[in-house]
Chain A
Amino acid sequence: MKDFFLSLKTMLGAAPHRYEREDYTPEARALHKSHKSNSKERVASIYSELDGKKASFAVRKYRWPSIIIINLLFVVSYHFDVQLVEGALTASRFVGFHMADLNSALQVMLAFKQILINLVIGTATVFLLWWLVGGRAFCAWVCPYHLVSELAEMLHLKLVDKRLIRDHPLHRGVRSVLYVVFIILALVTGYTVFETINPVGIVSRALIYGVSLGLVWVVLLLLVEIFYSRRFWCRYMCPIGITYGFVGSISPLTIHYNLNLCLHEGECRAVCLVPHVLDMTVKNRAHKEFLDIGADCTRCGMCLEACPTGALSFRVKGLDKLL
Chain B
Amino acid sequence: MSNAGKPAKQPAGKKTVSRIQREKRRAFLRSIVAGSATIGLGLAGYAPVLRAKEKRLRPPGALDEREYLASCIKCGQCIQVCPVEAIVLADIWDGFGYGVPHIEARVQACDFACDTPQCVLACPTGSLSHDLDTKEQVRMGLARLSRPDACLARQGKGFKGIAREKGLHRYIKVDRWNPIKIADHPYDIELCDLCVRECPIKDAISLQPMSDDPADKRRTPVVHEACVGCGMCEMICPVEPACIVIDARKMWGQS
Measured CB to CB, the residues of A under 8 A from B are 77-78, 86-88, 90-93, 98, 100-101, 104-105, 108, 111-114, 116, 118-119, 122, 168-171, 173-174, 177-178, 181-182, 185, 189-197, 201-202, 205, 208-209, 211-214, 216-217, 229, 232, 236-237
Residues of A within 8 A of B67 (CB): 112
Quick check: B41 and A197 within 8 Å, CB to CB?
yes
Interface size of B as a range = 35 or more
Are B41 and A108 in contact, with the CB atoms below 8 A?
no
Asked if A197 and B89 sit within 8 Å, CB to CB, the answer is: no
Taking A88-B74, A169-B23, A177-B35 as known contacts, 4 extra A-B pairs with beta carbons closer than 8 A to each other, sorted by chain A number, are A78-B79, A171-B24, A178-B38, A213-B92
Listed from nearest, the 7 A-B pairs whose CB atoms lie closest are: A91-B75, A196-B45, A174-B31, A87-B75, A111-B70, A214-B92, A171-B31
CB distance from A30 to the nearest CB of B (A): 32
Asked if B76 and A195 make an inter-chain contact with CB atoms under 8 angstroms apart, the answer reads no
Which residues in B have their C-beta under 8 angstroms from that of A122?
Answer: 124
Chief secondary structure at chain A's binding surface: helix
Q: Report B79 CB to chain A, min CB distance, Å.
A: 6
Q: Chain B nearest CB: distance from A255 CB in Å?
A: 26
A237 and B42 CA atoms in complex are apart in Å by: 13
Q: B75's contact among A92, A113, A182, A216, by CB below 8 Å, is which?
A: A92
A-contacting residues, B1-53, CB 8 Å? 23-24, 26-28, 30-32, 34-35, 38-39, 41-46, 49
Q: Please indicate the chain A residues that have their CB under 8 angstroms from the CB of B34 in the complex.
A: 170, 174, 229, 232, 236-237
Q: Are A86 and B80 in contact (CB under 8 A)?
A: yes
B180 to chain A: closest CB distance in Å? 17
Q: Which of A90, A171, A177, A185 contacts B74 (CB 8 A)?
A: A90
Interface residues of B (CB under 8 A from A): 23-24, 26-28, 30-32, 34-35, 38-39, 41-46, 49, 66-67, 69-77, 79-81, 88-93, 95-96, 98-99, 122, 124-126
Between-chain CB contacts (< 8 Å), 30 pairs: A78-B79, A78-B80, A86-B80, A86-B122, A91-B124, A92-B77, A98-B124, A104-B73, A105-B73, A108-B72, A108-B73, A112-B70, A112-B71, A116-B126, A119-B124, A168-B30, A169-B30, A171-B27, A171-B28, A182-B42, A191-B46, A194-B42, A195-B74, A201-B99, A205-B99, A214-B98, A229-B30, A229-B34, A232-B34, A236-B34
Inter-chain contact A170/B31, CB cutoff 8 Å? yes
Chain B residue numbers with a CB within 8 Å of A213 are 91-93
**A140 to nearest B CB, angstroms?**
22
**Cα separation A98 to B124 with both chains bound (whole Å):** 8
Say which residue of A108, A209, A216 sits within 8 Å of B71 (CB atoms).
A108
A237 to B125, CA, bound (A): 27
Q: Which residues of B contact A208 (CB under 8 A)?
A: 76
A33–B32 Cα distance when bound, in Å, is 42
**A100-B124 contact given A194-B42, A211-B89, CB 8 Å threshold:** yes
The smallest C-beta distance from B72 to any residue of chain A, in angstroms, reads: 8
Judging by beta carbons under 8 Å apart, are B45 and A193 in contact?
Answer: yes
CA distance A113 to B126 in the complex (A): 13
CB distance from B171 to the nearest CB of A (A): 22
Query: Are B49 and A191 in touch, CB under 8 angstroms?
Result: yes
A residues near B75, Cβ cutoff 8 Å? 87-88, 90-92
Within the assembled complex, what's the spacing in Å between the Cα atoms of A78 and B124? 17
Chain A residues within 8 Å of B24, by CB = 171
CA distance A238 to B221 in the complex (A): 54
Query: Known interface pairs A171-B27, A174-B34, A178-B35. Does A91 touch B125 (Cβ–Cβ under 8 Å)?
Result: yes
Chain B contacts of A185 at CB under 8 A?
A: 39, 42-43
Selected from B28, B31, B45, B125, the residue in CB contact (under 8 A) with A191 is: B45
Which chain B residues lie closer than 8 Å to A98 at the CB level? 124
Which single residue of chain B is at the shortest CB-CB distance from A220?
B41
User: Which residues of B lie under 8 Å from residue A197 when comparing CB positions?
Assistant: 38, 41-42, 45
B100 CB to nearest A CB, Å: 9
- List A contacts of B89 (CB < 8 A): 205, 209, 211
Q: Which A residues are CB-close (under 8 A) to B42?
A: 182, 185, 193-194, 196-197
* Cβ contact within 8 Å between A205 and B76: yes
For the complex, what is the distance from the CA of A86 to the CA of B125, rounded to whole Å?
14
Inter-chain contacts of B35 with A (CB < 8 A)? 174, 177-178, 181, 237
> What residues of chain A lie closer than 8 Å to B46, measured between beta carbons?
189, 191
Inter-subunit contact A217/B41 (CB<8 Å): yes
Shortest Cβ gap from B178 to chain A (Å): 13
Contact A192–B77 (Cβ < 8 Å):
no
Among residues of A, the one whose C-beta sits closest to the C-beta of B69 is A191
Q: Does the CB pair B76–A87 fall under 8 Å?
A: yes
Chain B residue numbers with a CB within 8 Å of A77 are: 80
Residues of A within 8 A of B79 (CB): 78, 209
Chain B contacts for A195, CB-based, 8 A: 73-74, 96, 98-99
